[in-house]
Amino acid sequence: MAGGKETPRQKMIGMMYLVLTALLALNVSKQVIAAFITLNDKLDASSEIIGNKVDATYGGFDQKRAALVATKGDMKLLETWQGKAEELKAETAVIVGFLLGECNEMIKMADGVDWVEEKDEAGNITSLKSLHDVQAFDNYDIPTNLFVGGEPKSPNERGMAIPGKIHEYRNKVCELMGNYQSGKKTFTFTAPEDPSGLAAALATANEADTSKIASYYRALTLPEHLHGHDGEMPWVAVMFDHAPIVAAAAMLTSLKLDIKNAESVASEYMLSKVEAPTFNFNKIEPLAFARTGYINQGDSLDLSVMIAAYDSNEVSKIRYGIDADTIPENWKEVTGKIALDGSTSGLHIVKGTIGVKEKGEIAWKPWNFQYTVGQPMGVVAQPEMRILYWGYNNIVEGTASGYDPSSVTLSGSGVSLSSKGAGQYVAKVSRGTRTAKISVSAKNADGGSVSLGAFDFECRPMPPATVYFGKTQMGGKSSYTAAKNQSGIRVGYDPSVPLKGVTFSISGGIVKVDGIPGTGKVNSGGKFDSKAKSLLKQSKNKQVTIVVDYKGPDGIGKKGGVSFSVK
């Protein structure tokens, strides 16, 4: 394996270990060596942040799939590159599991305890316990014997397997990136054993990809030799010879970070190969609809139920017409809801288009709807929702066409009803109730009571609420000035949730800032303690995560959180 040119980072690592060796020779206190524990924690935290970014990139394939399905686009290219991305993800899990497995074996030899914290479904190690609990953290015999052996200038097979497997991973991913077919052209790339053969290998690749493939290849190419305490030494010897366990562990964690960085670059490259319109959305909700909302007894109706994704921050423009005005020349343009006229009985047809942003441009998508204005009948209307929530003042209306509203009454089973006037009732169900029934009746002209139907309702706990940091929600951004001056957190419903006047009580929580040690508290009521405020004052250009425990009117304890970046 030929030696590559050392990057500034590799030179820094080599210098770090020269300093470490000198410190050991001077018998410096264990507190100095223990600083590597902090270094390892920072590297691990960075790796986790990058991992979250990579997961979002993988999710981008599903978003593009949805866009291609919606626009009836070509799925072949998507299938090709998503398959490559899945292979990239699997190969990354294997190499990360290998590096963490070597670290675990080293610690287990020293402390006699398995250090694995979590594995994935395939059995690959995904995380280890904190180095803070390692007893023999300053032991340097085990890393030396395990990865170097008795002759530093000729490291043992196990140590040499570390750069070997990293280079194998590098080669596999580079070939995933470079081997594909585009139209009638076939591009190929066979990874060379060392950088000296890179230019020749790139000759058969797509010219548009060569810089990215070359950059990726070089980023994961470890030099064969580095400057060590005895002059030019093999990379493995410089990294692990006479290195304390915590320093060797930090090196393996650093390699894991390099792998995750490389995975991020490769996954973004693969996602960029799929051309698909992009749709912005931040809300996903179930949606049930049918071609009409009215049928006669004995008829049937097809009900479609699906998931709707939309951008709650973007109010779409709608063009529409009803009945005789369904021709485009007569359409009106509105935003938000459409008020449908119910003054004339019978079937009504509504047609129109809705403006959807695709790659920053408005594309008009057609839609149509039918509704029927019926003859006198008894109904139960629930304008706020279609279910009854525990502990909440659910508002229901009883109406009966052809009857004086003052003569219409509601009665319930499994639910308590109290009149608000104007045909509205407050319906309350206790915690644990699963179903309730509300019946409609009215008085006719001779004073007798007429039953107009009974209706079943599903009863549920209150839906989860949104945690707000000022005006910032999950995934949003906060200015540094707002973040450092914020005194507390609040829980409430997003404006899109149609439940009114609901209050939540916060019993406690925690505040974390990525890259800053320690955890702050959220006190009862939502106020931050002094530690949390201190962390927020250090949150500039960092990710903040806040998790709280809260209760709503239903009395059920829930957890909620908000994670946002501070700029």
Residue type, 327: I
pLDDT at 372: 66
- Where residue 101 falls (left for φ over 0; alpha for ψ -120 to 50; beta otherwise) is alpha
Tokens 């626009």 — which residue?
71
Q: How far apart are CA 44 and CA 514, in angstroms?
A: 11
Torsion sign, CA atoms 218, 222, 224, 226: positive
Residue 258's SS3 state is helix
- As a whole number, mean pLDDT of residues 451-465 equals 89
Residues contacting residue 26 through CB under 8 Å, at least 6 positions apart: none
Asked if 372 and 293 touch (Cβ cutoff 8 Å), the reply is yes
- As a whole number, mean pLDDT of residues 466-482 equals 92
The model's pLDDT over 416-429, given as tens digits with 9 standing for 90+, comes to 999 888 778 999 99
| Per-residue pLDDT at 3 exceeds 50 | no
* Predicted confidence band of residue 290 (pLDDT cuts 50, 70, 90): low
- As a whole number, mean pLDDT of residues 290-311 equals 60
Torsion of CA 415, 419, 420, 424, to 10 degrees: 70
* Predicted confidence band of residue 512 (pLDDT cuts 50, 70, 90): very high
| Per-residue pLDDT at 32 exceeds 70 | no
- As a whole number, mean pLDDT of residues 243-259 equals 92
Q: How far apart are CA 117 and CA 94, in angstroms?
A: 16
pLDDT at 257: 93
pLDDT at 296: 41
pLDDT at 385: 57
| Per-residue pLDDT at 389 exceeds 60 | yes
The model's pLDDT over 102-149, given as tens digits with 9 standing for 90+, comes to 999 999 999 999 999 999 999 999 999 988 888 888 888 999 999 999
- As a whole number, mean pLDDT of residues 198-207 equals 95
- As a whole number, mean pLDDT of residues 525-531 equals 94
| DSSP line for 40-95 | HHHHHHHHHHHHHHHHHHHHHHHHHHHHHHHHT---HHHHHHHHHHHHHHHHHHHH
* Predicted confidence band of residue 446 (pLDDT cuts 50, 70, 90): low
| Per-residue pLDDT at 162 exceeds 90 | yes
Asked if 506 and 445 touch (Cβ cutoff 8 Å), the reply is no
Report the chain's terminal Cα–Cα distance, integer Å: 44
pLDDT at 324: 80
* Predicted confidence band of residue 542 (pLDDT cuts 50, 70, 90): very high
Q: How far apart are CA 2 and CA 337, in angstroms?
A: 67
| Per-residue pLDDT at 501 exceeds 60 | yes
| Per-residue pLDDT at 403 exceeds 80 | no
pLDDT at 358: 62
| Per-residue pLDDT at 298 exceeds 50 | no
Residue type, 163: P
Beta bridge partners of 357: 362
pLDDT at 302: 74
| Per-residue pLDDT at 375 exceeds 70 | no
Residues of the chain with CATH 2.60.40.3440: 378-460
Q: Please, is 389 exposed, middle or buried when counting C-beta atoms within 10 Å of its C-beta (0-12, 13-18, 19+)?
A: buried
DSSP 463: P
Q: How far apart are CA 522 and CA 539, in angstroms?
A: 16
DSSP 370: E
* Predicted confidence band of residue 72 (pLDDT cuts 50, 70, 90): confident
pLDDT at 285: 67
Out of 48-62, 169-183, 281-295, give the one with best mean pLDDT.
169-183
Asked if 128 and 103 touch (Cβ cutoff 8 Å), the reply is yes
Q: Percentage of residues in the chain with pLDDT exceeding 90?
A: 52
Structure tokens at 154: 């000729």
**126 alpha carbon, distance to own chain's centre:** 18
Q: Percentage of residues in the chain with pLDDT exceeding 70?
A: 82
| Per-residue pLDDT at 25 exceeds 50 | no
Q: How far apart are CA 112 and CA 473, in angstroms?
A: 45
List, in sequence order, the alpha helices (H) in 220-340.
235-240, 245-272
CATH of domain 378-460: 2.60.40.3440
Least confident of 70-74, 381-385, 439-443, 455-459: 381-385
Q: How far apart are CA 37 and CA 147, in angstroms?
A: 20
Residue 460's SS3 state is strand
Q: Please, is 343 exposed, middle or buried when counting C-beta atoms within 10 Å of its C-beta (0-12, 13-18, 19+)?
A: exposed
494-504 as b/e: b if 16+ CB within 10 A: eeebebeebeb
Task: Supply the mean pLDDT for the chain.
Answer: 84
Q: How far apart are CA 524 and CA 538, in angstroms?
A: 23
- As a whole number, mean pLDDT of residues 328-342 equals 81
Asked if 288 and 304 touch (Cβ cutoff 8 Å), the reply is yes
Q: How far apart are CA 391 and CA 68, in angstroms?
A: 43
Q: Please, is 483 exposed, middle or buried when counting C-beta atoms within 10 Å of its C-beta (0-12, 13-18, 19+)?
A: buried
Count CA atoms within 13 Å of residue 385 on its CB side: 21
- As a whole number, mean pLDDT of residues 446-470 equals 87
DSSP 436: E
Least confident of 199-203, 378-382, 523-527: 378-382
* Predicted confidence band of residue 541 (pLDDT cuts 50, 70, 90): very high
DSSP 4: P
Q: How far apart are CA 112 and CA 272, in angstroms?
A: 47
Dihedral pair phi/psi, residue 325, rounded to 5°: -95, 20
- As a whole number, mean pLDDT of residues 399-422 equals 82
Stated pTM of the model? 0.52
